[in-house]
Structure 1
Amino acid sequence: MTSSILVFCLFCIYAPMHGNFMSSYLKKFREKTPSEAFEQERIQLGDPVGPSDFAGALIFFLDGKYGGPFCASSLISIDSALTAAHCFLPELASSRVKLYVVFGLSDLREPSLIANANNPNVNIIAFDYPSDVLLHESYVGDGDWFQHDIAIIKLRRPVETRSVKPVKLAKNKYLKGIYAVGWGRKNCTHASVETLRRAKAQVTTNEQCSSVWMGARSGVPIYDSQMCAYFATANQQRAAVSAGDSGGPLFKAGPGEKIQIGVLSHVLYYIWNYYELGWRCTNPSFPQIFTRVSSYEMWIKDRVPQAEFV
C-alpha cells in the first residue's frame, strides 16, 4: 500500500492500478532509485508564478485515461527540449502510453489541457520514446549515482508561439540569482499543485555538498558534472524540489533573460508516517543535486546545433 500511494503521488495518477502494465510500470519506477533515500523532484512550498517562457512539462496518458505530469523540461531550440535521462523508463515505450510535452501553460490539470488545445500561446506536442528521445550514452542510472543524467527530446514540430522562446545555456558557473521552477506539491503528503511554482536557490560548492551527502552516497563525492543547491520561497521559508519535476531547469535570472545552469536530478528524502502511511518527504536540510549544463556543452551542441551557450 505504501509504495502504491507513493507512486500515485509522484505521477499524479488518481485511479486504481490498471492491470499488469500499470503494476509493472510502478514496480520499475520504485526500483530505479539507488536506495531508500533517493527520489525524483518536485517544488515543495515554492511561490506561484505564471507560465514560464521556456519551461515545459512532460505528460503521459495510459490508454488515453490514466496519467498526468511526470517530469519537466526546458526548450533549448525551437524543436528540442532538455530534460533528465532518468525520466525515461522502458515502460514508456509501450503503445498504450501517449507522451506529450507542454509549453506555455501553467495549469496542467486535464480540463486546462483540453481548454487550451487550440490556444495559439500554448504548445502541446506529442512525442515517442525511444524514437524521439536522445539519452546520454554513458548514463547508467543509480549504479553510477545518476552521473550523465541528461536527455534531449526532439520535437516533431517547432514551438511556434511568441510567448515561448528557447532558453540560453550556461558556459560558466553562476552562484547568485538562481531559481528552479516546477509543477510541485505544496507539501510531501499532497499531489501536484495546479500551477507552476518557483523557488530561490542557494548554490553550494561540490566540496560542501559532498561533505553533507558523503554517507548517503557511500563515500562517493559529487561529480564535477553535477552541482547542488538549497531552496527558499519569497518569505525565506525552506522549500524543496520534490517528486515529479525531475528534468526541470535550474536557471540564472538576469535582466531580460534567463540562463539555464542545471537539470534537476535527485534528492534525499525521509519517511513521514501518517496513519501508517509512509510518505516520502524531500529533506530540505540536504542540498538537491542537478546535472551541470556547462559540462555537457559539446554533447548538447552536437545534437542541437541551434542551442545557444553564453
Structure 2
Amino acid sequence: MAKSSRVHFSPRAWEQMRPKSVDPARGMIRRVSPSKQTHAHVENMNLLKHHAADSVATVAPSSVRAVCSRWRTTAEGFCTTGTYSQWRRSGTREFPYQLSLQKNAEHWCGAVILNEDWALTAAQCVEDSEDTYEVLAGTNTLSEGGTRHTVTFISSHEGYDASDSWVNDIAVLKVSPAFPIDGVTVAPIQLPEKDEEVPDNANVTAIGWGKHWYFGQIQDGLRKVDIHIWQQWLCESVWHDINYNVHATQICAIRFKNNKHYDTCTGDEGGPLLYEGKVVGLVSWGHFCGEPPYPSVYTRVSSYLDWITEKTSGSRV
C-alpha cells in the first residue's frame, strides 16, 4: 500500500509527486552516495541472514539510493513497494477503528479512532494547515458507505522533526460530528500500556488503502499485510550505516520472504501497526517502501500515551 500521487495521475497529482528537496519539513528526499553505503549494505545483509528464517538471502546494492517519508517520491520517480498480491482484503468489520484521512476530498493518510471526538494519525499527514481535512469512518471502501467527519482541530507533537528521521511523528485530530460508535462498524482502537514493548520478531499487521507497487494507485478497498517486528539494535544499525537515526520512540517492522518484501507504502502514513488488537505503531517512513535491507520505521505509540491524554483533555480511551 502507499502514497505519493493521488488516485488519478492528473496534472495536480503529478505536481504532488515531484520531489520537494528544498522543504525538509515536508519529507525531504535524502540521497546516499554508493561509496558511503555499499560496504555497510553488504555487512548488514550478513546480519539479516541471521535475523529470521525467511529473511532475504542476498540483495545487490543499488548504485543510488534515497530515503523518503511516505509523502514524497524519489528523484527517479516513485516510492516503491512489493507486488500487489502481498496484500489481502480485510473483512467487512475486521477493523472498525480504521479511518481514511482525506485532504481536499481525496484519500491522503490512514488514522484510527480514539473515542467519539478524537482520532490518531501521523504529524506528517497534517502539516498543511491551509488545507481542509476530513475523515471517513465505518467503511472499508473509499468510494461508498461510511460517515464523513470534519477535522476541526489538529494537535501535532511539538517535537516533530522531519529533518531528524521524522521523530515524534504523531498527531491527534478532533472531529465534528462525533463518530457514531456502535462497537461493530465504528469502534475505538485499543491503545497499549505505557512503554509497553512488542516482542522481537512478533507477527504484526498493517492496514490501509495505500499503493501496492511502483506505478500503483490508492486502493479502493481496505487491505492488510502481516509483517514482523525487528530487533531495535538491528534496525538502528542498518539505518545508521546510511546516516539515519532510529529513535527509542520508533519501532521497526517489515517482512522479507522468497525475495519479496511485505511492507506499507504511500497512502498508509498515519495508519496503525497492530499487535494483539492494539495500535503499537503509526506508519511513518522507510526506504523505497520496503526495499531490502531496510525495514520501515513506525512511531512507537506506547511512548506517547501521556501526550495523547494531555492533548485530548484526558479523553482518550
Deviations 1:15-74 (A, max 9, x none): 2239xxx9589665984224142131798531111342111111122xxxxx52111001
Of the three residues 118, 132, 139, the one matched with 2:160 is 139
Aligned equivalent of 1:242: 265
The equivalent residue for 2:56 is none
User: Structure 1: which amino acid aligns with 2:90?
Assistant: V
Residue number in structure 1 paired with 2:99 = 56
Partner of residue 39 from structure 1, selected from 69, 76, 81: 69
CA distance in 2, matches of 1:208, 1:147: 18
Matches within 5 A, 1:172-191: 172-175=196-199, 176-191=202-217
Paired position in structure 2 for 1:227: 251
Higher strand fraction: Structure 1 or Structure 2? 1
CA contact (8 A) 2:118 2:173 kept: yes
Deviation, 1:191, is: 0.8
> Are the equivalent residues in 1 in contact too, given 2:149–2:178 (CA < 8 A)?
no
| Residue 298 of structure 1: how far off its partner (Å) | 0.7
What is the CA distance between 1:301 and its match in structure 2? 1.1
**How far does residue 181 in structure 1 lie from its aligned partner after superposition?**
0.4
Distance (Å, rounded) in 1 between the aligned partners of 2:91 and 2:16: 36
Identity rate, percent: 23
8 A contact 1:199–1:231 mirrored in 2? no
Kept in 1, the 8 Å contact 2:109–2:271? The answer is: yes
Structure 2 regions of 5+ residues with no counterpart?
A: 31-65, 72-79
Per-residue CA deviation, residues 260-281 of structure 1 (Å, 9 max, x unaligned), is: 1011110101xxxxxxxxxxx5
Q: Cα gap change, 1:25/1:47 in structure 2, threshold over 3 Å: closer, same or farther?
A: closer
**Cα distance, 1:236–1:55 mapped onto 2, change above 3 Å:** farther
Residue 271 of structure 2 is aligned to residue 251 of structure 1: no
Which amino acid counterpart does residue 49 of structure 1 have in structure 2? S
Check if 1:294 corresponds to 2:294: no
2:111 to 58, 73, 84: 73
Matches within 5 A, 1:270-289: 282-289=290-297
- How far apart, CA to CA, are the structure 2 residues paired with 1:10 and 1:25? 5
Q: Tell me, in whole angstroms, the C-alpha distance in 1 between the residues paired with 2:256 and 2:6.
A: 24
Q: Please give the per-residue CA displacement for 1:156-192, whole angstroms capped at 9, x wherever unaligned.
A: 2221141211111112112334111011223222111
TM-score by length of 1: 0.74
SS in 2 for 1:87: helix
Shift of 1:108: 1.1
Match of 1:106 among 131, 140, 160: 140
Q: How many residues align?
A: 258
State the secondary structure of the residue aligned to 1:251: strand
Partner SS, residue 287 of structure 2 = strand
2:311 is matched with: 303
> Which residue does the alignment assign to 1:208?
234
Q: Contact 2:81 / 2:291 at 8 angstroms: preserved in 1?
A: no
The residue correspondences of 1:157-176 to structure 2 (distance < 5 A) are 157-162=177-182, 163-171=185-193, 172-175=196-199, 176=202
1:89: Cα distance to partner? Answer: 3.0
After superposition, the Cα gap between the structure-2 partners of 1:212 and 1:59, relative to the gap in structure 1 and judged at 3 Å, is: same
Contact kept? 1:28, 1:89, Cα under 8 Å: no
Task: State the alpha-carbon separation in 2 of the partners of residues 267 and 30 from structure 1.
Answer: 19
Tell me the distance in 2 between the aligned counterparts of 1:107 and 1:43: 22
Q: Secondary structure at the match of 1:213?
A: helix
Change (3 A) 1:107 1:69: same
Asked whether 1:268 is paired with 2:290, we answer no
Q: Secondary structure at the match of 1:169?
A: coil
1:11 aligned partner: 6
Of 217, 225, 229, 1:199 maps to: 225
